[in-house]
Amino acid sequence: MKEKKFAVCYNKNIENSSKAKDALVSFLQKNSVFPEITDIDNLKSGVDFVFVIGGDGTILKAARFYSKTSTPVFGINLGRLGFLSQSSKENLEYAAGEILKGNYTVEDRIMLQSENFTALNDFVVKGGTRGRTSSFELKINGKFVCNYLADGIIISTPTGSTAYGLSAGGPVLYPSLDAFVIVPICPHTLTARPIVIPDTETITICTPKNSEKYVVSTDGQAFYEFENEIEIKKSNSSAKLALLKDCGFYSVLKDKLHWGISPLN
């Protein structure tokens, strides 16, 4: 049987990331695993499993990159929320030990595609004039759906439904659902509500004629401009997230979003 090749990816711009990386590498080496070490700005393929140390942004970038080779990534959180991560630096050795024992599952997470850009969380479309509402025309499979006058539109995957889309009033979707969410940001019409659609649909957002260029953000990390219209659909690649077997989605909602917990008196 081929020996599994591990990598440790860290974000050197995050405080204590190097210390967590050193601690993880030391633990792995004590268990006869000698990983390749890389940072988030110099990702390399050719491995079978990747430990990613950082916040959700670090994990998003790594997951998109390694989706090309169907390589599982396991997040160790050093950020604020760490919704995509399965471990904190405090239980790093326990989590790594479970991974080495094979006590984990790998979930396929659908991604979005627009031109040469992919997103695991979301695409966010906004007008080119900051501080002003913009006009958007929404089409699905080439058919007109509605016009929005809003600050922007979020096109989200189930993975991203707990991110910007949730803050903008969208629903939480179970990660394995084959669906997308379209969420208008601060719409000027009370009947403009989020829509959940199958992930087989093609979404087109059109801009008014003679308008300024609109801006699209990819997972809040890459930005590009477009004129006239943008087409968004399901990516042919999927992200592979490694999850500990004793950590389910509902417990993550409760522990990290404090779901359904009443405020203290």
Residues 6+ apart with CB under 8 A from 24: 8, 51, 53, 76, 92, 96
**CA dist., res. 22 & res. 107, Å (int):** 27
Residues 6+ apart with CB under 8 A from 37: 7, 8, 10, 21, 25
Angle at 212 between CA 210 and CA 216, to 5 degrees: 130
Residues 142, 146, 148, 152, Cα dihedral to 10°: -40
Distance of CA 75 to the CA centre of its chain: 12
DSSP 214-229: EEEEETTTEEEEESSE
**CA dist., res. 169 & res. 164, Å (int):** 9
Q: Tokens 């998003």 belong to which residue?
A: 60
Active-site residue set: 56
